[in-house]
Structure 1
Amino acid sequence: MLYNVNGDLVAADDAAVSVSDRGFQYGDAAFETMRAYGGQVFAWAAHFKRLRSTCNALGIDHGLSESKLRGRVHGTLAANDLADAYVRLTVSRGVQPGKLSPSDDTDPTVVVVTESLPRGGVDGTRVWDDPATVRTVDVERVRDAALPATAKTHNYLNGILARIDAGDADEAIMLDARGRVTEGATSNVFFVDDGVLHTPSLDLDVLPGVTRWAVLELADTIGIPIEEGHYTPRDLRHADELFLTNTTWEVRPVATYDHATYDTCKVGARLARAVAEEVEERHY
């Protein structure tokens, strides 16, 4: 495999960044996890917009245009002869003296990593084997006032600690200080009750997932009623169905949440099909 490190294609075993890089030292970096279908990144514009938002929140000016970043991503896919892949684009503040306060003189580190995934779309293969097992964890979601919820940064300890707390479950559901459901460690949360699709609203400490956005757009298009709001674990446990979304899983149904079990995921399956059809039309 070849990775793109600051514009140069480097063999994966030789790809490296400095131990003085602030992304390594402090988690002072932005990243996007994307998925390529048929050689092109799905919803690139939405991913770039979120990356730009994260970089703005951190005050990182990577100095690269959208077309240059996209060129590095697709160039890395092409160099590895990958049509269907996981893609991670990282932008750190770069190498600076070992002080907590960043310098205004930045030389950002930009890295693109790709890994093969199965074909997506209508004739594709999902990347998960079974519906997810999910648990509520004691680890609270970091408040937006402490770390911007809309920023996708290398500071991922909140999610890591949540996953540790979840034990052998596939995903951890984090609550805020008032006991409201926010999101999973690496996913957004949806549930269906009496035919209405519900998901925590973005006025909570919720990362605005690109797949979350795509699912809501598709739900609106095919006429599924939507409600974004504030919910408790009890709302999820008493729902008719529960599912999770993220870039690699797309739409993943939940089999068990804490002590609750779900026998169906009809709306989730309908939306998973809609996502597959959208991917098929756009990329294959």
Structure 2
Amino acid sequence: MVRFLGALVGAATVVVCIPFKYDNHRCHALIYIKLSLIPSNNVGQYEGIEPKREIGKSVSKQLNITKLLANLPLFQQLQDNEITRLAAETREVRLGKGQILFQKGDLLDGFYVVVEGQIKLAFSSPHGQEKVVSIVGPSGSFGEAVMFMEKPCPVFTQALEDSHLLYIAKRGIFTAIDHDSAFARRMLAGLSMRLHGLIQDVEDYSLHSSTQRVIGFLLQLADRPTKGHTTFELPASKQIIASRLNLTPETFSRILHSLSEAGLIAVKSKRITVPDITRLSRFDRAPLTPCVKNARAPLNGEQTPLE
């Protein structure tokens, strides 16, 4: 029987007695174990020693993830036990402005939801030209398609500002789908809307003038009120938005200037004011308006559709 005899106070030494037999003689071995003092802030690193403050922090973090999930539109209709189960498969991700989240060709075993901040999805050519595919803001998600298809990511992602995201593992999503058919339909609806948006983009690039694309984008930002005055801010830099609309930054700035001169908008840095939404909307549908007519031919430096 191994016996703990005690510790030498101040010397950080533990004395252990181990009995054994040698040549039919009963013997005891005394083992002196010298311990290095463990700093209190590193206690949690040692096996078998788990300070209560770390446990509390872990529980608090898990509760925070559960609350964040419950407040996201995609998960709001899930039962509490399903949210808790999903939270166990979720981790928080924080990115600084300009930080890359994943690269083109990476594999994802889950998808991301933006809690705060803004994420750019884009791809670049061998010559360094960048095409922004999407800008994802709070409550928006990305990565679902490649998660389901188990295909490499076709784009890279980068934080346009300091961002807070949730990464939800595939197994958690599959469990939620198995338990809740309504959740499966919401996932399917989200992917369908994404596909519809991409088809709309192809139509815009192929059939609409650069001016029409810019006006359509501004009307979307204004949430398309039926009439009256509205003010809003551009969600990203003009360079990013231009790439999203398949324009050069110069073309985008020139169109904003033309619309401003026509009295359709007022531009102050990233702040856009539309005095009359109805007038701007009619301008969007007026192909014979001189400004629109002139914009039908590719402007200097404008990218061709899908280039």
Higher relative helix content? 2
Normalising by the residue count of structure 2, what TM-score does the alignment of the two structures yield? 0.26
Of the two, which has the highest radius of gyration? 2
Which of 1 and 2 has higher RCO (CA within 8 Å, sep 6+)? 1
